Chains A and B, each alone.
Chain A
């Protein structure tokens, strides 16, 4: 109950401060869906994967960038929460934003061509995995940050290649495992995070 209340408080507070980013991400995804071609399902999937992941990476980096949430972060850091609890709560924010952005994409594209449920699921899994890896980049610096960003950007390409080459469950399982590991990493990094 108490932990749930902390998570809800962090998510709602951060989301209320990210309304503009949320609107921009949803509008950009809807625009992409409108402009994309509909006679090639593979191209559509690839476009959504790449664009969704890029939005996820951008939103994830904004969570701990440029002192936007400096006071809020200090408040969260000084609360008696474990790193993993804080990680789960703060990871929900970019995931919620990309979920809405992807929903905007698939809603607009549904007006032109019927979307495949598997494509929607794979897009969501891959974008979440990329976003969670990008969150890890946000709490690191130097070469480690670049490496995490490169890994986040590689997720849509790997997911797409797997979706083409192997049965559908494999890329989903791949993204789920990567996302889980990234969230664990983020929690551990956040526990050692230095707000200075």
Chain B
């Protein structure tokens, strides 16, 4: 069974096609860096893959769940890392982790300890990107969706993600290539 499946999924906004019909599958533990035409397409595909945005046409399934019908089940499977940094919404890393722990129903103290361990594994990654990544990995998602991650951080991201399947979108083919090269060693 595919963990992420897109069947002719497209995204149209105000009669402008942002994402042309896209068909792809990703299995458990697999990793795919997807090069998109532009930044808006990369953002839209990542949000569709995370089940946060419904496609204008076509279907998206995550572990056979339809995000439109079973959004809560889907969100328990997916960890989503937005492109935008998270610098000022929370006064400290601990407060951010406590916030996420409360939303995901995880024990606060244990989650903070786990978050610190994850953060230590992301040595060299800027905190603006490391914090959301740690937040997404806290609930041990089966599928990690990254919206335009920094290709320079690929080794650390792949190491921190462990067994999770990874789907990342990129606005340039070079970034995607770099990510894929790290994910699948020759």
Contacts and interface: CB of A to CB of B under 8 A. Distances in A.
B44 to A, nearest CB: 6
Nearest to B75: A80
Interface string A60-86: 000000000111101111111111000
A71 B53 contact: no
B102 A8 contact: yes
Contacts, number: 72
B80 interface: yes
Contacts of A191: 71
A196 B13 contact: yes
A189 interface: no
Nearest to B40: A196
B13 A75 contact: no
Contact of B50 (A5, A71, A78, A83): A78
- Interface SS of chain A: helix, strand, loop or mixed? helix
Contacts of A2: 105
B82 interface: yes
B110 to A, nearest CB: 14
18 contacts: A6-B103, A8-B102, A13-B90, A71-B85, A71-B89, A74-B80, A74-B84, A75-B99, A75-B135, A78-B52, A79-B104, A80-B103, A80-B105, A191-B71, A194-B53, A194-B54, A196-B11, A196-B47
- The 6 A-B pairs with the shortest beta carbon distances in the complex, nearest first, are A9-B102, A79-B103, A2-B105, A80-B75, A5-B102, A78-B80
Interface of A: 2, 5-6, 8-10, 13, 17, 69-72, 74-83, 191-192, 194-196
